[in-house]
Chains A and B, each alone.
Chain A
């Protein structure tokens, strides 16, 4: 069965998803959106506006930092890199998810 995930459900976990990619290496908007699509096997496609608002929120809270880098084709891109508080926040979010998953699972059963 093919199903798209509603953005409402994902709202609380967009931050976690973005931070997950930034744990490895700094990245920029489209690369992250592309990799989310890839890793979720096209089951979750993040909207551009969702992604951008997540970036500004994460940056405001000090979880990521932005910097500019010029690509080979001369285009200037905004890159984001994770901070130490960002790593900490990511771990908290992972723990929170484990708990959430465990609780929600108890209410799910096949009819």
Chain B
């Protein structure tokens, strides 16, 4: 019966979500179900019954004028709308999950880059200081390397995601199920990530209260701030990237069609800007913030304070989105 249901859903997937279409789908589904039930009761094997029901279903063109969807059926060019199968969806999500982790790792390395310099600084000898500075650039280089690798690796999916393409009902149901079952994992990752970021200042404050604190201890605990934040951010980014992948797949089906029963929730966040200047600025928003952060930090060397730019930037971005952005849908 599941096969028949999927077959019917796929047939209707690209049609508009109007009362006429939904009624037709319901009625046709009822007839198919009745026929299937009777064939099974007559002793037919399940496969055989499914085969008979599907072969006797007919052609949607026939009901087109009854639904006022004739024009839509004609406009539809199946060749231009490749259907994404469950295997491709599985592969994409696995890849997105992996690169999401790599991007998170890259961010971790960038956030942790001053740790070497801080520890080297408090060690008090010149070699350690030089190694620390070298480590700073090595970390950044490795992080940027990971960003580049990830974006090049994922660019092979641009064709799929940016060109018009649909996912069939069975795949959409599968992706939706995966997204739902990932929800609790995602919540745990998010919570631990945020907790790590908040707790990152605990070691340094505890050591600061000790009476016999040494400069080394202060250095190590300061370095620990970056490591903890880095791990926290890694967990947040890696899990968000995976959820993004689920939403991107689910958003392939045009809104308002029967196939879009499962919509990705991520669509609500995506906005566009009518003002060309704002659009230009926003497209390079985060790289710019990163540059400002690095330049500011290197010039002042107040790494313990300059991180404040990240939460501020996030708030500013949300404000800009809310005031100037328009929802895509």
In the complex, whether B28 has a CB less than 8 A from a CB of chain A is: yes
For this complex, 14 residue pairs linking A to B, each with C-beta atoms less than 8 Å apart, are: A28-B30, A29-B34, A30-B30, A30-B31, A30-B34, A33-B35, A34-B38, A47-B56, A47-B57, A48-B57, A51-B31, A52-B24, A53-B63, A75-B30
Cα–Cα distance between A24 and B202 once the two chains are bound (Å): 84
The answer to whether B32 and A56 have CB atoms under 8 Å apart is: no
The answer to whether A48 and B58 have CB atoms under 8 Å apart is: yes
In the complex, whether A57 has a CB less than 8 A from a CB of chain B is: yes
In the complex, whether B88 has a CB less than 8 A from a CB of chain A is: no
In the complex, whether B59 has a CB less than 8 A from a CB of chain A is: yes
In the complex, whether A49 has a CB less than 8 A from a CB of chain B is: yes
Secondary structure of the B contact surface, majority rule = helix
* Cβ proximity bits B57-74 to A, threshold 8 Å, 1 near / 0 not: 111101101100000000
Once A and B bind, how many residue pairs between them come within 8 Å at the CB atom?
A: 57
Name the B residues within 8 Å of A35 (CB-CB): none
Known A-B contacts A34-B38, A47-B62, A57-B66; A52 and B31 likewise in contact (beta carbons under 8 Å): yes
* Closest chain A CB from B254 CB (angstroms): 23
Minimal Cβ-Cβ distance residue in B for A56: B66
* Closest chain B CB from A93 CB (angstroms): 20
Identify 12 new A-B residue pairs, CB closer than 8 A, beyond the known A30-B38, A52-B66, A56-B63. Answer: A30-B34, A33-B35, A47-B58, A48-B32, A48-B35, A50-B62, A52-B27, A52-B31, A53-B66, A57-B66, A75-B30, A78-B27
Secondary structure of the A contact surface, majority rule = helix
The answer to whether A49 and B65 have CB atoms under 8 Å apart is: no
Chain B interface (Cβ < 8 Å from any Cβ of A): 24, 27-28, 30-32, 34-35, 38, 56-60, 62-63, 65-66
Contact residue range for chain A? 10 to 19
Which 3 pairs from chain A and chain B are nearest by CB? A47-B58, A49-B58, A30-B34
Name the A residues within 8 Å of B24 (CB-CB): 52, 56
Name the B residues within 8 Å of A53 (CB-CB): 62-63, 65-66
Cα–Cα distance between A55 and B150 once the two chains are bound (Å): 55
The answer to whether A33 and B31 have CB atoms under 8 Å apart is: yes
User: Which of A45, A49, A77 interacts with B59 by CB under 8 Å?
Assistant: A49
Name the B residues within 8 Å of A28 (CB-CB): 30
User: Which of B28, B38, B65, B66 interacts with A48 by CB under 8 Å?
Assistant: B28
Minimal Cβ-Cβ distance residue in B for A47: B58
Name the B residues within 8 Å of A48 (CB-CB): 28, 31-32, 35, 56-58
Name the B residues within 8 Å of A33 (CB-CB): 31, 35
Residue from the set B24, B31, B65 with the largest chain A CB neighbour count within 10 Å: B31
Cα–Cα distance between A51 and B35 once the two chains are bound (Å): 13
Minimal Cβ-Cβ distance residue in A for B38: A34
Known A-B contacts A30-B35, A34-B38; A49 and B30 likewise in contact (beta carbons under 8 Å): no
Give residues of chain A (50-70) contacting chain B, Cβ–Cβ below 8 Å: 50-53, 55-57
* Closest chain B CB from A39 CB (angstroms): 16
User: Which of A29, A34, A45, A50 interacts with B27 by CB under 8 Å?
Assistant: A29
